[in-house]
Amino acid sequence: MMIDSWSLILGVTMNKFNDGAPRNYMEWLELGYTVFPCSSDGVPLLVQWQKQIINLKTHSKIIDKNNWKSGVLGVRLDDLVDLDIDNPKMEKFLDEIVCGAMFGRPSNPLSHMLFKGTTENISYTVPEGFAKYFKKFAHGTRLLDIRSGEGHFTYVPGSITPKKKGSEKLEWNRFTSFQEFDSLLLKKLSEICLWTALSAMFPIKGSRDEYMSSIAGILARHTDWTDEKIGQGLFKLALHSGSTNPSRYIIKASKARDDKTKSFGIPTLARILKVEQSDIAQLFSWVGVSDTGSSFSKLKVYETDPTMWKIKYKDTWITIMDSSHLLSWTKMSIHILENCYEVPSPMKPIEWKNTINHLLENVEKIKVDESESYYGQIGSVISEYLNRPERWNEDRYNEKKSLLGHWGTWLDRENNMLYFRLESLIMKVNDARLKYEQRKLTQYIRDKYSAVPVTLNINGKDVRTWRAPVERIQVQDAKSRSHSTRQNSEYRDSDTLKTDTEKKDISYMAHKKAERKRMEQLQDERMQKLQQDSHDNY
């Protein structure tokens, strides 16, 4: 649509103006508003339009200079607040907003509400995680723009929309006056935007009850809303979203406060809508919801023994070495304090349980080489001890009664079995300053070496020992050496050896290792000598 009549543009042929509604350029000027022409693309034709002084004295020169014939008119929002409604579903939730100046276009009759006054500029856009639910809407995830101040303008009745918006005629839907904008409206508009977004994502069928219970749970536990207010909101949401029995949801609020009933909240709603908990929390933050659980966004598990976890809290990855800590909010809050230097808001046990269960549904599983695990390190200590070369030396002293000492071993050559004392393994692991659980240590040697506990009667004394096939012991040693060689090859050209400081450190560590091995050999030799002397004196 193009307006070619200058009399219409300038308002030479005036309307009766009986209702006080401005319907052309001149009438906007007469009401004292700053109005200016725009191009057919909607761009203001005035240079520095934010600062231009336009009134009844100056307007004709401005129009003549710009040869304005597009029919697109902009009004600067110096003392106006414009509610630009971008989602048509919102109209059904605006019944509590009293406004005397509403207008739109044929395709969207209620797209703007104008108030007198000023306020902060706010754009209500749902988080990107919900984008799939808003593809059918012209403005996508944007629901409402609140604009005010000299740096903003809006297209108004008395003109048409730009070409990109269809060149539709803008007309008043209702006009009584420009009412004062009350700052309390911002709180109400935030609530309306939330209900609009939830209406756009309202399940067609199947999970409606869970959906509504989750919304009730969030509002009941994280806001100061009364049961009545939540119930009324749920009723309107259901009514305007296609439910044939909206009244059944009014009671959801009171049920949500009952700890004895099944709890619904952010984790459940995130599961239903297939989004992150942080997306849900961000959406509900419009009405003051602040939820600690939604700050946890990802969980990784490293398949080592023992299991290691990493959990993402806000922007920080926290390492958890004890799986039981994931079951306790108290212990988790200590990890947050130590890693993030903040005290998180309290969470009820059921809330933390729901949060961790949601994270476990999408946990990232990471396989780790056994040698890099904690028990892999213990395994290398055991392998080194059981596979000492002298154990297979035929000239070495080798009798069953050597098992009477804690460090004793006996190679049963006939059956190709090695007998050893569990105490010796425990002392070796302790010497390496590694912590362990004995039940896991014994299970480890069962699994890796096919070891079994055996009680031998030696010189009339029952001695508890362990027996393992020599073949299994040597196979495990070969695997350990192979991995060690591979690691050395991988890091041969790394930066590890490129600085003097690092060279000294590595040299020092190598010296400590050699010294420790020398001391172990001396200790073994002393023990063997004592065992030999004891045998000679026997």
Q: Residue 340 — pLDDT band, cuts 50, 70, 90?
A: very high
The token pair that represents 356 in the structure block: 């961790």
pLDDT of residue 487: 45
| 461-510 per-position pLDDT tens digit | 999 999 999 999 888 766 655 554 444 444 334 333 333 443 444 455 55
Residues 452-463 have pLDDT tens digits of 999 999 989 999
- Given a cut of 50, whether residue 177 has pLDDT beyond it is yes
pLDDT of 137 above 50: yes
pLDDT at residue 3 is higher than 80: no
Q: Give the 3-state secondary structure percentages of the chain, helix then strand then coil, rounded to 5.
A: 45, 20, 35
Give me the pLDDT at residue 506, please.
44
What does the pLDDT average to over 332-352?
89
Q: Answer yes or no: are the C-beta atoms of 17 and 27 closer than 8 Å.
A: yes
pLDDT for 348: 81
Q: Is the pTM of this model over 0.85?
A: no
> Amino acid identity, residue 403?
L
Tell me the C-alpha distance between 16 and 25, whole Å.
14
- Per-residue pLDDT band at 1 (split at 50, 70, 90): very low
Dist. CA 215–CA 268, nearest whole Å:
9
pLDDT of residue 76: 94
Tell me the average pLDDT across 402-415.
88
Domain locations in the chain as residue ranges: 6-182, 202-287, 297-367, 374-490
CA distance 191 to 284: 9
DSSP state for residue 317 in the 8-state scheme: E
CA distances from 440 to 378, 443, 447, 502 (A): 11, 5, 10, 36
Q: Could you give the percent of the chain with pLDDT greater than 70?
A: 83
Pairing of strands 122-125, 35-38: unpaired
For 467-478, give the DSSP string.
EEEHHHHHHHHH
Its sign, for the CA torsion 431, 435, 439, 445, is negative
Question: Rounded distance, CA 410 to CA 407, Å?
Answer: 10
